[in-house]
Chains A and B, each alone.
Chain A
Amino acid sequence: MVERAAMNRILLWGGLALLAAGLSSLQVAGHLVPSAPSASVSPLDAIILSYSVLPRIAVALVGGAALGLSGLLLQRVLRNPLAEPSTLGVSAGAQLAMTMAAVFAPALMENAREGVALAGGLAVVALILAMTWRRGLEPVAVVLAGMMVALTATMASAALILANGEYLFSIFIWGGGSLSQQSWGPTLTIALRLAIGVAAAALLSRPLSILGLDDASARSLGVALNATRFGVIGVAVWLAASVTAEVGVIGFVGLAAPALAHLSGARTQGQKLIAAPLIGAVLLWLTDGLVQLLAGVDGERVPTGAATALLGGPLLLWLLPRLRMFEWPSLNSKPAPSRRSRRPGRLIGLFALLGAVAVALALTVGTGPDGWTVSTGPMLDRLLGWRGPRVAVAAAAGAMLAAAGMVLQRVTANPLASPEILGVGTGAGVGLTAALFLVAAPGIGIQIAASAIGAVAVLAAMLALSLRAGFGPERLLLAGIAMSALCSAVLTAVIATGTPQAFALLRWLSGSTNDSSPADAWFCAGAAAVLLAALPPMTRWLEILPLGDVTARSIGLPVRLCRIVLVLFAGVLTAAAALFVGPLSFVGLIAPHLARLTGLGRARGQGIAAVLIGAGLMVVSDWLARTVAFPYQLPLGLFASLLAGPYLIWLLSRSDARAG
């Protein structure tokens, strides 16, 4: 039985590889067969074949293999099933470094593209490891820090590009990940790195398999733990950074290839070292073949990097319920219990006060042509018409996202669950896209309904998937990341059409409250008031559900019904907020954490504090986005993560004496 299953899986991958080969041969044939019956193959066709078509096939193969290997090594050494070049921020770090180099030191970019990318990738990984070191590189903390740093770096690159007004063309191509080639250079570069990576992995095979154990066992077996670890991480980052520098951001392959290798029956270290790169290569080759097949004469419809997510996302989602086990130590190890405040009322009062200060600051202080000004009297009246709606929308959206995050974290008993990470925000975006394309001029009601349907559909799909085998945290996060990647890929593909709807979506994605009208403000604040009023009656459920289904049932809680109601609730909250501030804010992840980490562990206190923190954070972020580069405005999410990130990281990295 087992043998046959393994055989079938090998046949499946073999079949996919054959399909990819078939697609490639179509491309090759296009340049080998003369266009006119009389003509022979033109010299130019021969050059295109040998400098464009063939290198593209080769770069897909070596690039996919390098990413697969990189993901495998990172997952192994960090004992973290979610580690991969993009969740660890390698791509984002490389992108930021390259954008900075392009803006401030173009000469550097001309001469040392790979070096710049590698420096950026390494810096981000080093930062993440340093931040989570004292927590023993706990997977939850690492992924949290990684997403945080990656998002901040991405936003910072976007801000740099926007503020310098360089048109997004080259960064778009690069961020989309295009495999189009015109020489063998990138292939050779990546192939060399891949060969070194494979050799290193083979040499380190024994220490690697020992690193899969916990630290104590590894040390007792005589492995120079940290030296090995850093060596392997360095190799993995180098592989990913060279792919990123040569062809752009190709997401998902590094995550999917090792998971798929595992699911396809690779169990031993050696099997995985062979299977993961091979599967990565097939994935990228096949995707790129499909992209070229669908391309018209006027260019490709979807960038390959987005297409890998379109193809790989559903594949991973389909495979997840068939997943029997992960051999990695589970994410179930809860983050260290935080201290409980003895005076929750005082803390909540403090947060309310800080929120009020933030609102007052945002309303009165601004920059103008003459520098910083505090506005009062008639001038304030005049500016309030512009600042008031922004502040109201930011506060209401922040409050709703924070509430949604708190609900999701409690329902799933998963500290990483949040609207941003589970793909609920991007799901709302897909709903919004459908509304924009199906209805000629959708009103706010239709837009919010469509976003809500998108958000709830994503949440429901993920919970249904993970419910099959209970709420396994890894499975839920994997499903979330896959769903998020899938929805983002849909959005990228739509934006690539360049229609007016696409521009509307692009503006929505970048997250700006700049165009908030008084009507928007009333609507958003009204939605927040109505929805948040529904939160207090649910706090009992939120208190009990994290204790587990058995406990909840024994108290007489209708567990299934509670979950459905809460999930719907979180979906609507997210959709309402994301409609106004875009999907990428991170407030939904951070605010509940901050509330809990300051000592508000009970649902009611945590809920109120999270809402206040979310509102305050968003207001301050919006104020910074408005004033820092006046008159140029920066993305809201950049400041949301810059503000909240360091505090969260500091709290995470504090080694708590009571943690063990």
Chain B
Amino acid sequence: MSRRYALGLAAGLTLLPRAGSAAGTRVAVIDWAMLETVLAMGVVPVAATELLQFRKVAVEPAVPDRVIDLGLRGTPNYEALNLAEPDLILSSNYYEGQKPSLQRVAETLSLSIYTPGVPPYPAAVEAALTLGRRLGREAAARALVARTEEEIARLAGSLRGVAHRPVLAINIGDARHVRAFGTDSMFGDVLRRLGIANAWASDSSYSAAAPLGIEALARLPDAAVIVVPPVPPDALRALGDSALWQALPMVRDKRVTVIEPVNHFGGLPAALRFARLAATALLGQEGASHG
């Protein structure tokens, strides 16, 4: 405590920040959607969870090396978190169980983006604006929201009249199972904003233990498919040999594209990243079928 106090004192002497400003807040982040959002607003947290995977799975925004890794999201390392001396911890409704422990370290702000049955994009906008207010980055937050909205609108324009099939966003589990992203997923919501019908009309089927069989795709013969990584290597190979997979209309007509990795439960940056990747994939599919 004393070290932090001394540092704060030194900073106060040199910078004399305006009263009430929170620009110097030391932030630790548990939830990845919050991590993306604060990074996109130019705030570098002191610590965040599962950075090894974040760099592989969410990819952008880039996480500077000086951010301390806190370990798994479900079991964050409280000793490391404590030593990082945050003023504010950002969490979400997924980590309600850890909230009492987090609050022992520092003030904890928990924001919900994902609620079963509710499209998450508006909640992600709301979360970005709330974070901006709390961290004294309101302008950056508004800019992020505007940038994301404009870019998605631009991509929607480029797809208009070109991509007219319903699109199914899936994640491949093994050679026999997929899970589908529905209207209450970020990907489903972004597809709608791109002016594309989501072929999976019901809520997300993201439950890991009871996934969809590959044959479920046969019920959506007109759909184009976007595969969101990770894709297990043995599944890819087995699918190549599978008569059923090869007979699916979307596979036969080459309407299946594997995109770059993107966070499945992300915030606005993930929404934008998915919009870009999906638009490129769909334009590529259309280009191939006409050219």
Contacts and interface: CB of A to CB of B under 8 A. Distances in A.
A176 interface: yes
A95 to B, nearest CB: 13
Contacts of B83: 368-369
Interface string A605-645: 00000000000000000000010001111000000000000
B209 interface: yes
A100 to B, nearest CB: 14
A183 interface: yes
A497 B207 contact: yes
A52 B248 CA distance: 12
A515 B69 CA distance: 18
A47 B244 CA distance: 6
A368 B234 contact: no
Given A183-B243, A386-B79, A298 B232 contact: no
B52 to A, nearest CB: 7
Given A47-B244, A368-B80, A383-B82, A299 B207 contact: yes
Contact of B52 (A162, A165, A180, A385): A165
Nearest to A379: B83
A106 B244 contact: no
Contacts of A169: 171, 173, 179, 208, 211
Interface stretch (B13-21, B93-101, B161-169, B275-283): B93-101
B72 A173 contact: no
B241 A183 contact: yes
A504 B95 CA distance: 9
B215 interface: yes
Nearest to B213: A180
B209 A52 contact: no
A102 B235 CA distance: 11
A631 B73 CA distance: 11
A507 interface: yes
Contacts of A110: 233-234, 237
B105 to A, nearest CB: 9
Nearest to B99: A515
Contacts of A514: 75-76, 78, 101
B127 interface: no
Given A182-B215, A496-B209, A633-B77, A385 B72 contact: no
A386 B176 contact: no
Nearest to A179: B176
A232 interface: no
Given A110-B237, A631-B71, A633-B71, A182 B214 contact: yes
A174 interface: yes
A298 B213 CA distance: 10
A369 B68 contact: yes
Interface in A469-495: 492, 495
Interface string B233-247: 111010001111101
Interface in B53-90: 53, 57, 68-72, 74-80, 82-83
B34 interface: no
A633 B80 CA distance: 12
Contacts of B26: none
A44 B243 contact: no
A51 B247 contact: yes
Nearest to B207: A498
A174 B68 CA distance: 34
B175 interface: yes
B83 to A, nearest CB: 7
Interface string A168-193: 11101110101011110100000000
Given A110-B234, A168-B208, A517-B101, A630 B77 contact: yes
A113 interface: yes
Interface stretch (A143-151, A194-202, A300-308, A350-358): A300-308
A167 interface: yes
Nearest to A166: B230
Contacts of A297: 202
B79 A303 contact: no
Contacts of A385: 82, 104
A517 B74 contact: no
B261 to A, nearest CB: 12
Contacts of A650: none
A169 B235 CA distance: 13
A387 B75 CA distance: 14
B50 interface: yes
A386 B83 CA distance: 11
Contacts of B212: 298-299
Contacts of A154: none
Given A52-B213, A52-B215, A44 B207 contact: no
A385 B83 CA distance: 12
B51 to A, nearest CB: 10
A507 B208 contact: no
B8 to A, nearest CB: 17
* Interface size range of chain B in the complex: 35 or more
Contact of B208 (A172, A300, A306): A172
A369 B77 CA distance: 11
Contacts of A109: 233-234
B177 interface: yes
A366 interface: yes
A500 interface: yes
Contacts of A181: 176
Contacts of B149: none
B97 A183 contact: no
A386 B82 CA distance: 9
Interface string B210-238: 11111110100100000000101111010
Contacts of B96: 500
B130 to A, nearest CB: 21
Contacts of B176: 173, 178, 180-182
A170 B232 contact: yes
A633 B75 contact: yes
A630 B247 CA distance: 47
Contact of B74 (A48, A298, A492, A507): A507
B209 A176 contact: yes
B269 to A, nearest CB: 19
A588 B238 CA distance: 43
Contacts of A86: none
A512 interface: yes
A503 interface: yes
Contacts of B208: 167-169, 172-173, 496, 498
Interface in A498-530: 498, 500, 503-504, 507, 512, 514-515, 517
Contact of B101 (A167, A515, A626): A515
Contacts of A176: 209-210
A402 B235 CA distance: 44
A137 to B, nearest CB: 36
B195 interface: no
A496 B210 contact: yes
B97 A170 contact: no
B209 A51 contact: no
Which of B71, B94, B176, B247 has the most chain A CB within a 10 Å cutoff?
B176
Nearest to A502: B207
A113 B192 CA distance: 40
Contacts of B101: 514-515, 517
5 contacts: A44-B249, A169-B171, A182-B215, A504-B97, A630-B71
Given A43-B247, A44-B221, A102-B232, 14 more contacts: A44-B218, A44-B249, A52-B214, A173-B173, A178-B177, A180-B214, A182-B214, A182-B244, A299-B212, A303-B210, A383-B79, A386-B78, A496-B208, A515-B101
Interface of B: 50, 52-53, 57, 68-72, 74-80, 82-83, 93-94, 96-98, 100-101, 104, 171, 173-177, 179-180, 202-203, 205-216, 218, 221, 230, 232-235, 237, 241-245, 247-249
Q: Report, nearest first, the 8 A-B pairs whose CB atoms are least far apart.
A: A496-B209, A498-B207, A631-B71, A165-B53, A182-B244, A631-B77, A180-B213, A51-B244
